[in-house]
């Protein structure tokens, strides 16, 4: 049934299917896609909402954390009454009410090196919506190993970053950009973050994801990093190349050169 | 010669490498990324990348929040 759109679906997605870049073919690609979202916080909430609303076939939502009162200014899937509940579980309940056609899977365990590969089965695209560097490096390593495209978002204070990595044979990875692990300058816990900013970055992860899956634009060929400053509302777009000495992906590049 | 470092015009010696520039400005390298004219320069090329007049250098940090 994944190769046709029901009448209800045609109505539901009519306004995006009107876009010639998407059309019926793009909508079917969305319906056939499996997307893994790791982290259902300030980035994961809007990312999941827009992907679900757009008609992604299957969403895997991973978060071990529970909803706290201090999350609610930015984690817009959740309400006061959900405090204490697991984010992935509650997220799936609320998303299902909004977009019931999507198949939701929930992972409530913490993502570690022991279980990360099990999350990736049948996954076409990963959204990194996490809040810490250790998990970010782990997700990057798994995406490199499986050549799984990765859309990584991050936000702190008034600063946002959006990174799209197609993970093809010659494409760079997260560690080609950040060679060393920063100290935890960077979590919302210690530093604070503006709600609409993290919402923007999460929404743009969904936008990039929709474009990637429906093959709009050049995301398949090009890795891109976008930096956003929310105080002066400036974007900076940066081109990326693979680091031949990258600790994570350089062996992959060596291998692929030998293979050709 | 003149370059721009995070939008500030600065005067530097000619033939300076990116690595030496960071050292001269005491920029901590942990979690740091660098771009010249909107192209990210991988860390392993910092010491071999010679800066040119009017280069626009962007230094930024990995952030992890979400």
pLDDT tens string, chain A, 260 residues long: the values are 578 999 999 999 999 999 999 999 999 999 999 999 999 999 999 999 999 999 999 999 999 999 999 999 999 999 999 999 999 999 999 999 999 999 999 999 999 999 999 999 999 999 999 999 999 999 999 999 999 999 999 999 999 999 999 999 889 999 999 988 776 555 656 779 999 999 999 999 999 999 999 999 998 889 999 999 999 999 999 999 999 999 999 887 655 544 44
Nearest to A130 among B33, B60, B66 (CB): B66
Distance from CA of A8 to the nearest CA of B (A): 34
8 Å CB contact of B65 and A245: no
Find all residues with CB under 8 Å of A50, minimum gap 6, and list them.
A203, A206, A207, A210
Catalytic residue among A176, A188, A246, A249: A188
Model-level pTM?
A: 0.95
Cβ of A183 under 8 Å from any chain B Cβ? yes
Distance from CA of B11 to the nearest CA of A (A): 23
Residues on chain B touching A41 (C-beta within 8 angstroms):
66
**Of the candidates A136, A156, A151, the residue with the CA atom closest to the CA atom of residue A225:** A151
Q: ipTM > 0.90?
A: yes
Distance from CA of A231 to the nearest CA of B (A): 15
């Amino acid at each position: 049934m994944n190769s046709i759109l029901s009448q209800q679906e045609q109505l539901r997605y009519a306004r995006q299917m009107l876009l010639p870049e998407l059309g019926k073919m793009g909508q079917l690609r969305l319906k056939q896609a499996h997307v893994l979202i790791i982290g259902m916080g300030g980035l994961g909430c809007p990312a999941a909402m827009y992907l679900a609303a757009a008609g992604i076939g299957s969403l895997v939502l991973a978060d071990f954390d529970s909803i706290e009162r201090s999350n609610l200014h930015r984690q817009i899937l959740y309400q006061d009454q959900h405090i204490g509940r697991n984010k992935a579980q509650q997220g799936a309940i609320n998303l299902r009410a909004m977009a019931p056609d999507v198949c939701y899977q929930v992972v409530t365990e913490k993502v570690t090196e022991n279980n990360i590969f099990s999350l990736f089965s049948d996954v076409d695209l990963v959204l990194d919506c996490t809040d810490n560097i250790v998990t970010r490096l782990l997700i990057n390593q798994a995406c490199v190993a499986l050549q799984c495209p990765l859309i990584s978002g991050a936000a702190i204070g008034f600063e946002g970053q959006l990174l799209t990595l197609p993970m093809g044979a010659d494409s760079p990875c997260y560690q080609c950009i950040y060679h060393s692990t920063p100290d935890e300058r960077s979590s919302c816990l210690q530093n604070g973050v503006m709600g609409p900013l993290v919402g923007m970055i999460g929404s743009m992860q969904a936008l990039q994801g929709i474009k990637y899956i429906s093959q709009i634009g050049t995301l398949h060929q090009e890795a891109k990093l976008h930096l956003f400053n929310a105080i002066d509302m400036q974007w900076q777009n940066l081109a990326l190349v693979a680091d031949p000495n990258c600790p994570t992906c350089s062996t992959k590049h060596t291998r692929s050169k030998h293979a050709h | 010669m003149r370059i721009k470092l995070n939008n500030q015009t600065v005067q530097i010696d000619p033939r300076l490498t990116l690595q030496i520039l960071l050292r001269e400005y005491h920029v901590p390298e942990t979690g740091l990324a660098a771009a010249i004219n909107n192209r990210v320069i991988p860390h392993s090329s910092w010491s071999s990348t010679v800066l040119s007049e009017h280069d626009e250098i962007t230094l930024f940090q990995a952030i992890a929040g979400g």
